A and B are shown apart, each in its own frame.
Chain A
Amino acid sequence: MDLQYFAELFLGGLTRGSIYALIALGYTMVYGIIELINFAHGEIYMIGAFTGLIVATVLTFAGFPTLAVLVLASVAAVVYSSCYGYTMEKIAYKPLRGAPRLSALISAIGMSLFLQNYVLLAQTSDFLPFPSLVPDLPFWEPYAHIISSQEIVIISVTALVMILLNLLIKFTRMGKAMRATSQDREMAMLTGVDVNRVISLTFIIGSATAALGAVLIASHIGQINFYVGFIAGIKAFVAAVLGGIGSVPGAVVGALVLGWTESFFTGYISSDYEDVFAFIFLVVILIFKPSGILGRSETQKV
């Protein structure tokens, strides 16, 4: 029907999908390595957004140019969140590595609540304005009503992060170690892979992508509070499951499918049942493909 409207919804869904994808990557990588659904991942994202806000405010105040603020705030958020991700794994998950999977899951939920309340108490319960860190370019102005420069940045960063992660996993020594750990942890250990280091690194990479996403997304939406990680995290988790949890391209595909589903459904039918429809779609896909769109079904070892 109306082609421009379709294109706008398509691009809107693409942005929304990319937002979900940046967060979903962390879920899927951690699951791929240690089969843990890291519920505190959304909180790492939220902490990244807060760090970005604090650094951006200070730097803007000190008179740095916008682009420098964007880069430095992202770097600070990435470093800070990675530290949190690393520490979280050491405190909450490593001691439970031999325990049943349910114990680690509960520990993850506990970690999520702890971090949420910690930021609530240490910072504020109010919504805070987040400055727009990606400048509107003058030459892009005629097209800005279709897709803004911020949205372009989000989409390209997601694509870039996904490609880099894929290269890392497929072609580096560390990637090989990651794949080995994911396939069989004990066997990997026997062949000399430092499993602890691999797991730590996975958490660091996952947290870094979440923090990067947090700065870009918060700058796009314009507001944050201590609860943003939870809602974004749930949607990203759904995206990861939809795409096949454990698979990096799967997380991106799942996120895009979810973004488009929501966008088109809202655009052509109604936003009242946006979530309902998104989850019906999830159920239907999982009925026909239980391991997700790009997930491989594994035979359980007895």
Chain B
Amino acid sequence: MKRFVSFTAIVALVAVFAGTGIAADTIKLGVGGAHSGDLASYGLPTVKAAELVVKDINAKGGILGKQVELVVEDDVCKPEVATNTATKLVDQDVKVVLGHICSGATKAALSIYNKAGVIAMSPSATNPELTQSGEYPYFFRTIASDDAQARLEVDFALDVLKFKKIAVLHDKGDYGKGLAEFAKKFLEEDPRGEVVLYEGITPGAVDYSAVVQKIKRTGAEAVIFGGYHPEASKIVTQMRKKRMDTVLISDDGVKDDTFIKVAGEYAEGVYATGPKDVSKNPLAIAANKAHQDTYGAEPGAFFLNAYAAAQALLNAVEKAGGTEDIDAIVNALRTEPVDTPLGQIKFDERGDAIGVGFSVYQVQNGVYVEVQ
């Protein structure tokens, strides 16, 4: 009897081990970002991109014979939540993360990933320090950094629009302020431009009439705004209601259809920089079509960047032969080019994608049109 008990115990143990063995036999891809709250419209397309890429790969037999499993966690775009989100993903044994979305939240999450040796790749976090500081060796992104956007905004204002007096505003957040600081620096370096006003505004305030009056008083020809669409639409609306025709130039936090919907007629003529138009790339067309077929809607912000990031991450995992050796994955990301909807990409030493950039768009008749 005793022997029988120990025998069954062994069988049971083996069964348990076999069970966990089967459960662990997947490759986990974490997805962290804003999936609810004000900025959910930036984060949800990334989840959908990941779902589509993973579905595609799993249908073809997965990676190295293993199925890919998604682990999705919400950070609401808040740094204080993002550390929890990152910890949850690390606890679930995730080694590669697609995310996060907002720069502030990404920075917070990276402190956790760095310690745990987890690779994160953001489709949208554009704060320059994330790659340029060298503090986060396991961080990559499939979007150009903010100084690239600020450079483009300043060049556009000076070279194309031929403006001299420019007001620079920001929303005091990591993303907006970072961008505004670069714009200010580039304008000061250029003898043609003059920064007539540099200020931070309080996000969510009931009105911005005092700041708008101040812009008017300085006689600025254009406002470069670093921040997101809720504030941008309030500023442009109040400027137009004060009968000012000052041009608004902003960033990809504003290049969102919600901005046009909310600002309505006042959105007309606003310039915003955003990722290059890749609509002619056959892989992009296929990805958009897959989204349309699966979810019955047009994809949202950063969808293709996220799609490319998911592909690049999973490709690198395959080339590195699994998720055990983090350095091998990092090496694969730097050396193995991948064909993605953004074109063929690989990553430089700092983690920025080579071959990914920005264009200027303008709102014309209620849609963003690329300015040549």
CA distance A145 to B238 in the complex (A): 10
B207:A221 contact, CB within 8 angstroms: yes
User: Is residue B117 within 8 Å, beta carbon to beta carbon, of the partner chain?
Assistant: no
**Min CB–CB distance A75 → chain B (angstroms):** 23
A220:B207 contact, CB within 8 angstroms: yes
Known: A125-B37, A129-B261. A15 touches B209 (CB 8 A): yes
Interface residues in A12-67 (C-beta closer than 8 Å to B): 12-13, 15-16, 19-20
A221:B262 contact, CB within 8 angstroms: no
**Min CB–CB distance B255 → chain A (angstroms):** 15
A148:B241 contact, CB within 8 angstroms: yes
B207:A19 contact, CB within 8 angstroms: yes
A266:B211 contact, CB within 8 angstroms: yes
What sequence of 0s and 1s flags, for each residue 257-271 of chain A, a beta carbon within 8 Å of any chain B beta carbon? 000001110110011
What sequence of 0s and 1s flags, for each residue 193-233 of chain B, a beta carbon within 8 Å of any chain A beta carbon? 00000011110111101110110010000000000011001
User: Is residue B258 within 8 Å, beta carbon to beta carbon, of the partner chain?
Assistant: yes
Q: Which of B207, B214, B261 contacts A16 (CB 8 A)?
A: B207
CA distance A205 to B305 in the complex (A): 51
B210:A13 contact, CB within 8 angstroms: yes
Query: Chain B residues with Cβ under 8 A from A118's Cβ?
Result: none
Instruction: Provide the main secondary structure of the chain A interface.
Output: helix
**Min CB–CB distance A260 → chain B (angstroms):** 10
B213:A221 contact, CB within 8 angstroms: no
CA distance A5 to B233 in the complex (A): 24
| Residue of A with least CB distance to B172 | A272
B210:A12 contact, CB within 8 angstroms: yes
Query: Chain B residues with Cβ under 8 A from A145's Cβ?
Result: 242-244
User: Is residue B36 within 8 Å, beta carbon to beta carbon, of the partner chain?
Assistant: yes
**Min CB–CB distance B215 → chain A (angstroms):** 11
What sequence of 0s and 1s flags, for each residue 77-96 of chain B, a beta carbon within 8 Å of any chain A beta carbon? 00000000000000000000
User: Is residue B189 within 8 Å, beta carbon to beta carbon, of the partner chain?
Assistant: no
A129:B262 contact, CB within 8 angstroms: yes
Query: Chain B residues with Cβ under 8 A from A217's Cβ?
Result: 206
CA distance A263 to B214 in the complex (A): 10
User: Is residue A222 within 8 Å, beta carbon to beta carbon, of the partner chain?
Assistant: yes
User: Is residue A184 within 8 Å, beta carbon to beta carbon, of the partner chain?
Assistant: no
A266:B204 contact, CB within 8 angstroms: no
Query: Chain A residues with Cβ under 8 A from B211's Cβ?
Result: 266, 271
| Residue of A with least CB distance to B241 | A148
User: Is residue A225 within 8 Å, beta carbon to beta carbon, of the partner chain?
Assistant: yes
State the interface size on chain B (CB cutoff 8 A): 35
User: Is residue B145 within 8 Å, beta carbon to beta carbon, of the partner chain?
Assistant: no
B210:A126 contact, CB within 8 angstroms: no
| Residue of A with least CB distance to B199 | A271
B233:A222 contact, CB within 8 angstroms: yes
Known: A129-B262, A148-B241, A271-B211. A221 touches B206 (CB 8 A): yes
B207:A275 contact, CB within 8 angstroms: no
**Stretch from A90-98, A227-235, A286-294 forming part of the interface with B:** A227-235
Query: Chain B residues with Cβ under 8 A from A272's Cβ?
Result: 172, 199-200
Query: Chain B residues with Cβ under 8 A from A5's Cβ?
Result: 213, 217
B206:A271 contact, CB within 8 angstroms: no
CA distance A8 to B217 in the complex (A): 10
Q: Which of B37, B210, B234, B242 contacts A221 (CB 8 A)?
A: B234
Interface residues in A138-183 (C-beta closer than 8 Å to B): 144-145, 148, 150
Known: A128-B262, A129-B261, A222-B262. A262 touches B38 (CB 8 A): no
Interface residues in A243-302 (C-beta closer than 8 Å to B): 262-264, 266-267, 270-272, 274-275
A235:B206 contact, CB within 8 angstroms: yes
CA distance A16 to B258 in the complex (A): 26
User: Is residue B237 within 8 Å, beta carbon to beta carbon, of the partner chain?
Assistant: yes
User: Is residue B326 within 8 Å, beta carbon to beta carbon, of the partner chain?
Assistant: no
A263:B40 contact, CB within 8 angstroms: no
CA distance A271 to B215 in the complex (A): 12
User: Is residue A223 within 8 Å, beta carbon to beta carbon, of the partner chain?
Assistant: yes
**Min CB–CB distance B196 → chain A (angstroms):** 14
Quick one: which of A144, A221, A227 has the most chain B CB within 10 A?
Answer: A221
Q: Which 7 A-B pairs have the closest CB atoms?
A: A266-B210, A12-B209, A145-B243, A272-B200, A263-B210, A129-B262, A231-B204
Q: Known contacts A129-B262, A223-B262; can you find 6 more A-B pairs with CB under 8 A?
A: A125-B37, A127-B38, A221-B207, A225-B38, A266-B211, A271-B211
